[in-house]
Amino acid sequence: MKKRKRSASQPWLRLHRVPCLVLVLGTLALYGISVTFGYAMDDKIYITGNTFTAQGFSGLPDIFTTELFTGYFGSERNRVSGGRYRPLTLATFAIESQLFGNSAALPHLQHASNVLLYALTILLIYWLFATQTSGSWWRSWPFLTAAVFALHPLHTEVVANIKSRDELLCLLLALSALALAVCGLRKSSHWWSIGSGCVLFLALLAKETPVSFVVAGPLLLYLCGRVKTRGEAIRVALPILLASIAYVALRLAILGIPESIEHQDIMNDPFLHASTGQRFATVAYTWLIYLKLLVLPYPLTHDYYPFHIPILNLGDLRALFSTALHASLIGTAIVLLRAGQKIIPGAIAFYALTFVLVSNLVFPIGAFMSERFVYIPSLGFAMIAALGLSRILAANSANNRKLGVALAILVAVLFAGLTFARTLNWRDDFTLAMADRHVSTNSARMQMIAGAALIAAAESAESADQKRVWLDDAYTCLERSVELYPAYGPAWFGLANAYYEDQRYPESIAAFKRCFAFTSTSENARNNLQVMADRAWEAKNTDLYLAAHKATTEHPNPLFASIGHRRVGMVYVQTMPDPAKARFHFEKALALTPDDTSLLGDASVMYYQQGLYQQACRVLERAYQLAPAETIRVRLKALYGQLHTPDPQQFPGAPPR
């Protein structure tokens, strides 16, 4: 069998045009359908609800000088521990917004961009590995590595979710930096090394994880046969190291020294109530799940929040097995390295180096785990899987070769089928929620998201029967959510909305009141009660109007509670006259917000109508002290006339008669 070598007269792309074409067409076949999709999940944080990206080019200065979430959450900072500085991805969304505006085609173009970035990444992986190809390209290790990576179902979230462009960009740019470093080694030019550092810096602006390429980058090139000596490895690593230092310096200049945040909600810190031993055991268990998903990527979900992953004790067999398995992988790598093998030990080392930053071992990531976190580390798995397949396909025995072909086809069909099916789930929020609710059955967050999606569907249902089905399904999800996590405000908020849509108003009001106890839903619950009251008033449903505002009187915010008391008091003044109840609620409101001049004015009217002129005078004088307006002075003079002989000492600050 002849060895096919690259010739100077035969450009690399021409020599490898068939495998490249297969890889690109395969990628398009798997993910091309996503071009028809809309926005889903966190796209609103990065695109549809982000004020900076919506501004187009004019939003770029803010994007590059603020924390990642500022454009969505406003001035609120430190949503996650340490903050996030990832302006490059937001900048691409801003540029797209500038070029295409609010066009209905924008999400489709953004999905197309993600697919293109992924296809380029696959080609770059193949280029890095395909230094020489022996025999048929389809059974070569470089092609199989790129193919396994391209087909792997774990990558669907990265490709099919527009927001995950940060993952796509950071790997593509990191590999591009390595490609420039290879060119620098060939041509002995420092300009290529400078270019390598600049491109790696851009990768870091997309996401911080490529910092691991200081070591993982030279290692990968060594496995590819692109780096052969220690000196070459240093030449590759140095610009990456300098780029990493420059990024850290810029990050510190923009965000300052990272602050330690003590979250009070397990949705932001799933280990909030876990001991150190439980934390390590649970983290080790998530490592085992990652390995399982790399080998058998089913079922998949975007949600691994509490309590989809259980908190384990240190002696739990799952944690012990995971720890032993990872220790054995390290031991295997050492043994094989000493035996002169480099690919398997190097692939294990690449996986470990790129995985450790997202493993919860060194830095808290704010969640138990996420499938997109192993996007870069999965390249290590692809290398090992491809090596096994290539050796079987190259076996001397014809039977073994046939077995290898059958195995390769089986893996390709299985992975492609799972990838395509999972990609379809990312069509929109509703489709994703309906799929993942059946996987993350113990995730309070996932069940809440599904319930909210079902309520939104019920609101626009075309028939009463369909609305009934979706509302009943919403109750199932939301009740499961509060069962899993009774202190979960968003789940109670969803239940309150479901009850309201179902015209179960007493239950809706009770659920909204439960939301008052949670910072995340307290204000929204009050706002929805106000909407309920307004609609009840328009429908002349005084009882519901009164019940909604009475619920607001229990709000922990004094201003909201005061408004509730005031509006209840007005009902007892105008619609359902009851002097005692009117006084009770107005005086409660005055105790909560004594400096509200509008409230003081209404209270004076209430007192006046009840013949309580002294009290009317007192609150009106307080209003005049706060805002000395002519209209208040005129009303006070009229009240003094009613009292005949007002005592100036009794009403300090009153206007002269």
105 falls within a domain: no
587 falls within a domain: yes
Is residue 652 within 8 A of residue 629, CB to CB? The reply is no
74 falls within a domain: no
Is the pLDDT score of 214 beyond 70? yes
Average pLDDT (350-360) is 95
633 falls within a domain: yes
Q: Model confidence over 178-192: pLDDT tens digits? A: 999 999 888 877 899
Q: Model confidence over 398-432: pLDDT tens digits? A: 777 888 889 899 999 999 999 999 999 999 999 99
> Which domain does 611 fall in, by range?
557-657
Classified as helix, coil or strand, 3 is strand
635 falls within a domain: yes
Average pLDDT (613-620) is 90
pLDDT for res 519:
87
567 falls within a domain: yes
Average pLDDT (304-329) is 96
Is residue 173 within 8 A of residue 202, CB to CB? The reply is yes
Task: Name the residue with higher pLDDT: 276 or 647.
Answer: 276
Pick the closest to residue 445 from 33, 42, 29, 61 (CA basis): 42
Pick the closest to residue 601 from 612, 614, 617 (CA basis): 617
Residue 244 C-beta-side C-alpha neighbours within 13 Å:
16
Average pLDDT (38-55) is 94
pLDDT for res 397:
77
576 falls within a domain: yes
Instruction: Give the CA-trace dihedral at 577, 579, 585, 590, to 10 degrees.
Output: 120
Q: Model confidence over 119-132: pLDDT tens digits? A: 999 999 999 998 76
Pick the closest to residue 154 from 367, 22, 296, 35 (CA basis): 296
Q: Which residues contact 52 (CB under 8 A, 6 or more apart)?
A: 59, 60, 62, 63, 66, 70, 71, 90, 94
Q: Which amino acid would we find at residue 130?
A: A
562 falls within a domain: yes
- What's the CATH code of the domain at 616? 1.25.40.10
Q: Model confidence over 486-526: pLDDT tens digits? A: 999 999 999 999 999 999 999 999 999 999 999 889 999 99
Quote the number of domains for the chain: 1
Which pair of tokens denotes residue 216?
A: 């993982």
CB atoms inside a 10 Å sphere around CB 249: 10
Is the pLDDT score of 653 beyond 70? no
Pick the closest to residue 205 from 257, 172, 247, 254 (CA basis): 247
Backbone angles phi, psi at 300, to 5 degrees: -110, 150
pLDDT band, very low/low/confident/very high, at 76 (cuts 50, 70, 90): low
**Sign, CA torsion 451/452/456/459:** positive
- Burial level of 185, CB count in 10 A (0-12/13-18/19+)? buried
